Chains A and B, each alone.
Chain A
């Protein structure tokens, strides 16, 4: 079953604009991770936020986590055409090693 659900399913923006993707999950988590997948390639880890953290930054990426609402958001600032990809949230829960992925947001950045 899906733990994370991303919203929107697809997003199309112009280069230079910011892109925000949201993720909701159902049960308590240990951490939440965001991954990027370029077409025809494997997933690439972007950032991990622990359940006791509220915000984390990495370059042009900003992730927030609201455990009371069971939601997270990924903000990409000053987007580039190279950011075109699908973005997935994933989380582990309890003592499980399983990383459960959402179905992803497909981001298109138009030059």
Chain B
């Protein structure tokens, strides 16, 4: 079975540019999570969706970040404009059902903002 698929795997772009990260969750999973991982702050939850509806975006650092889930098989995380401090690895994860189920992670997008 295909796992969570993220693209691109690596992104290098200049400060001020728009960045779009993409995620395809596991088919049938009704929860989708976006995380950011840095050495300093560890793994932080940015936002999560249930049945394509954003439930909690309190982890989104500022208005430059936005996330959408137009359908059950696709989600995007957008940063506009990007800044060097946004450099991190961004993970998408999906889950089937309520909190006692494991989350399944993609292999992440390593983002570098110059």
Contact = CB atoms under 8 A, between A and B. Distances in A.
A pairs with B: yes
Chain A, interface residues (CB within 8 Å), range: 20 to 34
B61 interface: no
Contacts of A30: 99-100
Overall SS of chain B's interface: strand
B48 to A, nearest CB: 6
A31 B100 contact: yes
B43 A88 contact: yes
Given A88-B43, A102-B42, A104-B42, A97 B31 contact: yes
A101 B37 CA distance: 10
Given A97-B48, A99-B45, A42 B99 contact: no
Interface of A: 2, 30-31, 33, 40-45, 48, 50, 88, 92, 96-104
